[in-house]
Chain A
Amino acid sequence: GGIITQTPKFLIGQEGQKLTLKCQQNFNHDTMYWYRQDSGKGLRLIYYSITENDLQKGDLSEGYDASREKKSSFSLTVTSAQKNEMAVFLCASSAGTGGPETLYFGSGTRLTVL
């Protein structure tokens, strides 16, 4: 089996700050994803990547940048943190590059903006 490791587990930032979240997977999966989870709103896709150096925008990409420099890692940057923002960011991976697939999730990074 494999594992997805997200760092940090907790992230506290200031309004306007640029914040970076990191994700590593050892499944050797092609596709990686970043989701945002807000209470009462389910999961929303921010970015996904089907291979190294590929980036695809999801429905919630505004205000975020992403980077996939290696197959095993996928980072997400909050370009300007919003005051009182609280959310959980979940990284996931899947084996293929399309179609219905099982996603494997990390345990999340919990963001609080003061």
Chain B
Amino acid sequence: AQSVTQPDARVTVSEGASLQLRCKYSYSGTPYLFWYVQYPRQGLQLLLKYYSGDPVVQGVNGFEAEFSKSNSSFHLRKASVHWSDSAVYFCVLSSNNYAQGLTFGLGTRVSVFP
């Protein structure tokens, strides 16, 4: 069985501050990991993905994530947030066999205050 845990349901941060969103996964095979963002009243959009190679992956809008096999983690970071980063962020795990499906975390709601 595979699972994704996002331990923080809500995060509040001031504009210009740094942001880290945590993601822990459980999967016995090779994980393929994604971060998606959902802005209010919209669908999910891909921020970045990790398949293999360099454990630090760059995404859109200044986001990056770091994969750690030893910690079973895929944390998302941004050095300086803007009010427009207020959204819900989902960590997603995929196996290499679609029959096992995608596993979504419950999401972390980020609120950026001026």
Inter-chain contact count A-B, CB under 8 Å? 52
Closest Cβ of chain B to A91, distance in Å, is 8
In angstroms, Cα B44 to Cα A103, docked, is 9
Residues of A close to B44: CB separation below 8 A: 43, 90, 92, 103, 105
Q: Is A86 an interface residue (CB 8 A)?
A: no
Interface of A is mostly: loop
- The chain A residue with its CB closest to the CB of B32 is A100
CB-based contact B101/A99 at 8 Å:
no
In whole angstroms, how far apart are the Cα atoms of A99 and B90 in the complex? 19
Interchain Cβ contacts under 8 Å between A and B, 28 examples: A4-B43, A40-B106, A42-B90, A42-B106, A42-B107, A43-B44, A43-B90, A45-B102, A58-B101, A90-B43, A90-B44, A92-B44, A98-B98, A99-B96, A99-B98, A100-B51, A100-B95, A100-B96, A102-B46, A103-B36, A103-B44, A103-B46, A103-B102, A105-B44, A105-B45, A107-B41, A107-B42, A108-B41
Does A106 lie at the interface of the complex (its beta carbon under 8 Å from any beta carbon of B)? yes
Chain A residues contacting B43 (CB-CB under 8 Å) are 4, 90, 92, 105-108
- CB-CB under 8 A from A70, the residues of chain B are none
Residues of A within 8 A of B106 (CB): 40-42
> Which residues does B use to contact A, with CB under 8 Å?
32, 34, 36, 41-46, 49, 51, 90, 94-99, 101-102, 104-107
Complex alpha-carbon distance, A92 and B32, angstroms: 18
Report which residue of A100, A101, A105 has the largest number of chain B beta carbons within 10 angstroms of its beta carbon: A100
CA distance A45 to B102 in the complex (A): 9
* In the complex, per-residue mask of A68-110: 1 if CB is within 8 Å of any chain B CB, else 0: 0000000000000000000000101000011111110111100
